Amino acid sequence: MSAYADFLESKRLIVPSVGRHVEPRALHEALFPFQRDLTVWALRKGRAAIFADTGLGKTLMQLVWAQHAGARVLILAPLGVARQTVREGQRWSIPVRYCRDHREVVDGISITNYEMLEHFDAAAFDAVVLDESSILKNFEGKTRTSLIRAFAQTPMRLCCTATPAPNDISELANHAEFLGVMSRAEMLASFFVHDDEGWRLKGHAREPFYRWLASWGMSLKRPSDLGYSDLGYDLPDLEIIPQIVETDYAPPGQLFATTLKGVTDRMAVRRQTLEDRVARAAELIAAEPDQSWIAWCGLNDEGRALAAAVKDSVLVEGQHSPEDKADALEAFASGQVRVLVTKAKIAGFGLNFQHCARQVFVGLGDSYETYYQAIRRSYRFGQEREVHAHIVLTEPEEAIYANVLRKEREAQTTGAELLRHVASFEKEEIGRVESDEFVYGTDEARGAGWRLLLGDAAERLGELEPSSVDLSVFSPPFGSLYTYSNTERDLGNSRTEVEFWEHFSFIIRDLLRLTKPGRLACVHVAQIPSQKARDGVIGLKDFRGATIDHFQSAGWIFHGEVCIDKDPQAQAIRTKSKGLLFTQMHKDSSWSRPALADYILIFRAPGDNRVPIKPDITNDEWIGWARPVWYGIRESDTLNVVEARSDDDERHICPLQLGTIERCVRLWSNAGETVLSPFAGIGSEGYEAVLRGRRFVGIELKPEYWRVGIKNLRQAERLVHTPDLFSAESSTEEGAVA
C-alpha cells in the first residue's frame, strides 16, 4: 500500500485488536456456532462488548472467554447472579470461585458482586468481565468512575449486557470509557451534534458511528442478525395483561383523580392504593397455584403486604444481607419456593428464571428498561411455556402504563435501526462477509478552458504535470467531523488536529510540485472557535498560524496575507456565538470578542518567475487591493448552494465569495494561465477564473458538489461566449461605417 493508503486506513474509526488469537476448535464444545465466533472475536479484540439479548448465552460466552483471557480473571455480577454463574460453570465443567474479598482469590476465574469491588485489588487481574454491564448507568457516578479507573490498565476487558438503543448515549459512553475505546467527550464530538432536540447522531456520522460501534461491540437480538440459524431460539407467546383496579383515591382538594403530575403524585397514589393492588395480585397468584410466580414490587410496604398474603412465598428486600438475598433467590430458582416477592432493582438483571412463566407487577414505574429486564427473567430463550405478565394498576396510573408502552415502541424502533445499520459491519468483524469498503469513484468533466475532476485531491493531484499551475486559489475544509461527508478521504473528517495536518500535508506538498517557480497559492482561512465539549475550553484555535507553519515546513515561502472585513452582526446571527451577542456584552463583556475575520494567506513557490504577471487592474484598484484589509467583499456574493446541499449535511455550504476570488485571480495570474483548486466544491474558483479568461482545473471529492460545479462552470462558459447586446450593436454600426 502507498503511504497515503496507509494513512487513510489509520483514519478509519475502528478499534484495533489488542487481545489473543484463539483457534475456534480450542473453545468449549457447548458453544453454538454464533457463540463460538463471538467469543473468538471478543478474545481477539481484547477489549470488547457483547450486546446480546437475554437468553442468547452470554454467561457461557463470558466464562469461555475468561478461560482463555488470562491466568487470573475477575467477573463482576449483580447480586444473586454470581452464585448462579458458579452453578452454570459447574454444569459446563468450568471452575468458577465465588469470592467476597481479595484474600479468597486464586488463579483461575473468580466472581463477586459489584458491591464488593472495593475489597479487591484490580491490578492483580489479567482480565475482567462486567456481567449485565448496563447497570453501570444505574450506579452512582462515583461507583461508575471507580470501575473505569480500577480497570483502566487491565489488558483484557469484556462487557456483557442486552442490546442497547443507539440513542442511549449514556450507556454507550459508559461502555466505551470502561473499555478504553473512547471518552464520552470524544464520542460526542466525533459523532453527535447538540441542537434543540438535544444530542443526536450527525447525518453523515451514521455509517462511521455504526462501523465504529461494531468494531468493539457486537449487537444481536437473534442469531440470524449475524447470519446464523435461529433454530431452537423461537420463543413462545408473551401476554401482557393489564389489571385495572377500581379505587376511590382522589388527590387532596380534588373530587376525583385527574392526570398525575410528577413523582410526588405517582408516589401518593401508589401508597394510597396499596391495599387494593396487593389484594388483586394475591388473587391472581392464588388462582394458579400450580404455577411459579415472580411478584415485582416498587415499595417495601407492597412487598411485605404481599408476602404476608401469599404463604408459599419468599420476600427479598434491600435491607437483607447479600448472603440472605442470594439464598432466597437460589431457593426460588431451584423450585423450593413457589413465589418470589422482590424489586426489579434487586433481581431484575441477569438471573435465569425460565422455570417461572407467571409474573405480576404490583404497580409500575416509568422505567421501560426496568420493566423489560424484569419480564425477561422468565421470557427468555429456553422458556417453553406461554408467559403471562399481569400489570396491576389503578385508573389514575394508566398514564404510567401508556408511557412505558410508548417507550417500548421507541426502543423496538431504535433497536431495529441499530441492528439494521450495524449488521453488515458486525458480519465483517467476525468474518461472515468480505470486507465492504467505501464506494469511491472518480470521474471527469471538461469544457472550454476547464476540467473538473471527481475524486480525492491527495490522489488526483498526482495525475497533473509538474510545474503546470500558475495560481492556486482555494478554501480548505476545516476539521469538523462528518459535517459534509462520511468518508476518511474528507480532510474535515479528522479526529485530531495532528491527523488533520498530516492529511492536509499530502496536498500541500503536491501543490508545490505542481506550481511553477515563483508563482503563488492563495489559501482562504479563518480562526476556529474551540468548544468546551471537544477541546476543554471556549476560545480560539490559531488555524491561520498553523496553516502558515505547515506550508513553510513543506517548502513554500510565506509571501503575504490579506484580512477580509466581516460583519459582526451577520456573524452573530449565523453562529449564535455568545461572544458577539448584545446580551453578553451587557451581562459580562469579559466573554465578548471581535468577529472572526477571513484571511487570504499568500504563499510563493521557490525560484524565479519566468513569465511576468501583468494584472488587468487600474492604479485605483491597486490602492484598494494593496491594503492589509480588504473591504467591500459582500458575504452574500456567492454561487447558489441550494442544489448541492444534502439532507445529511450538518451545516450550510459556505463557498468562497466571488469578489475575493476575483481579486486573487486578477492580481496574481495572466489571462490564459491555469488556476487550480484542489477543493473545488460547487466550482466558485473555476466560475470566476473562466469569467476572467483563465483556464481552470478543479478537484472535488463529493459527487453532489461536483455535479453542481459542472453546471456552474458551464454557466460561466456561456457567459463568456455570449456576446453582450450593446457590444454587438456597436460592432455592427462600426462595421457599417467602415
The span from the CA of 356 to the CA of 386, in Å, is: 10
Looking at the fold, whether 489 and 369 belong to one and the same domain comes out as: no
For residue 124, the 8-state DSSP code is G
Looking at the fold, whether 649 and 518 belong to one and the same domain comes out as: yes
Instruction: Judge whether 59 lies within some domain.
Output: yes
Instruction: Judge whether 1 lies within some domain.
Output: no
Question: What mean pLDDT comes out for the span 615-632?
Answer: 93
Query: For residue 129, what is its C-alpha cell?
Result: 468481565
Percent of the chain having pLDDT more than 90? 57
pLDDT digits (tens, 9 = 90+) for 640-676: 766 655 666 656 567 899 999 999 999 999 999 999 9
Q: Which of 12-21, 283-292, 361-370, 430-439 has the highest mean pLDDT?
A: 283-292
Q: Which residues sit opposite 696 in a β-bridge?
A: 450, 675
Question: What mean pLDDT comes out for the span 342-353?
Answer: 89
Instruction: Judge whether 84 lies within some domain.
Output: yes
Our count of domains for the chain comes to 3
Q: How many other CB atoms are found less than 10 A from the CB of residue 311?
A: 9
Looking at the fold, whether 360 and 488 belong to one and the same domain comes out as: no
Instruction: Judge whether 6 lies within some domain.
Output: no
- What range defines the domain where residue 388 resides? 238-416
Q: Quick one: pLDDT band at residue 625, thresholds 50, 70, 90?
A: very high
Q: Strands 450-454, 443-447: parallel, antiparallel or unpaired by DSSP?
A: antiparallel
3-state helix, strand, coil in the chain (%, to 5): 45, 20, 35
Looking at the fold, whether 213 and 273 belong to one and the same domain comes out as: no
Instruction: Judge whether 453 lies within some domain.
Output: yes
Question: What mean pLDDT comes out for the span 470-493?
Answer: 87
Looking at the fold, whether 667 and 588 belong to one and the same domain comes out as: yes
Looking at the fold, whether 346 and 206 belong to one and the same domain comes out as: no
Q: What is the DSSP string of 226-284?
A: GT---TT-----EEEEEEEEP-----TT-SS-----HHHHHHHHHHHTHHHHHHHHHHH
Q: Quick one: pLDDT band at residue 348, thresholds 50, 70, 90?
A: confident
Looking at the fold, whether 221 and 243 belong to one and the same domain comes out as: no
Question: What mean pLDDT comes out for the span 310-325?
Answer: 92
Instruction: Judge whether 433 lies within some domain.
Output: no
pLDDT digits (tens, 9 = 90+) for 583-610: 888 888 888 888 889 999 999 999 999 9
**Which pLDDT score, from 0 to 100, does residue 486 have?**
85
Q: Quick one: pLDDT band at residue 126, thresholds 50, 70, 90?
A: very high
**Which pLDDT score, from 0 to 100, does residue 653 have?**
64
Looking at the fold, whether 170 and 305 belong to one and the same domain comes out as: no
Q: Quick one: pLDDT band at residue 257, thresholds 50, 70, 90?
A: very low
The span from the CA of 637 to the CA of 475, in Å, is: 16
Looking at the fold, whether 679 and 713 belong to one and the same domain comes out as: yes
Of 153, 84, 160, 148, residue with least CA distance to 117: 148
Predicted confidence (pLDDT) at residue 733 exceeds the cutoff of 50: no
Instruction: Judge whether 585 lies within some domain.
Output: yes
CATH of the domain at 535: 3.40.50.150
Of 27, 22, 64, residue with least CA distance to 41: 22
Query: For residue 286, what is its C-alpha cell?
Result: 392464588
By the 8 A CB rule, do 729 and 463 touch? no
Model confidence, pTM? 0.74
Domain boundary among 362, 381, 416: 416
Predicted confidence (pLDDT) at residue 544 exceeds the cutoff of 90: yes
Predicted confidence (pLDDT) at residue 341 exceeds the cutoff of 90: yes
Question: Interhelix angle for 300-309 vs 274-287, to 10°?
Answer: 40
Q: How many other CB atoms are found less than 10 A from the CB of residue 705?
A: 25
Q: Quick one: pLDDT band at residue 434, thresholds 50, 70, 90?
A: very low
Instruction: Judge whether 438 lies within some domain.
Output: no
Q: What is the DSSP string of 634-645?
A: -TT-S---GGG-
Looking at the fold, whether 392 and 447 belong to one and the same domain comes out as: no
CATH of the domain at 46: 3.40.50.10810
Domain boundary among 381, 400, 416: 416
The span from the CA of 46 to the CA of 41, in Å, is: 9
Q: Which residue has better confidence, 138 or 531?
A: 531
Looking at the fold, whether 16 and 114 belong to one and the same domain comes out as: yes
For residue 385, the 8-state DSSP code is S
Which residue reads 473562466 in cell numbers?
Answer: 690
The one-letter code for the residue type at 70 is G
CATH of the domain at 255: 3.40.50.300
Looking at the fold, whether 255 and 200 belong to one and the same domain comes out as: no
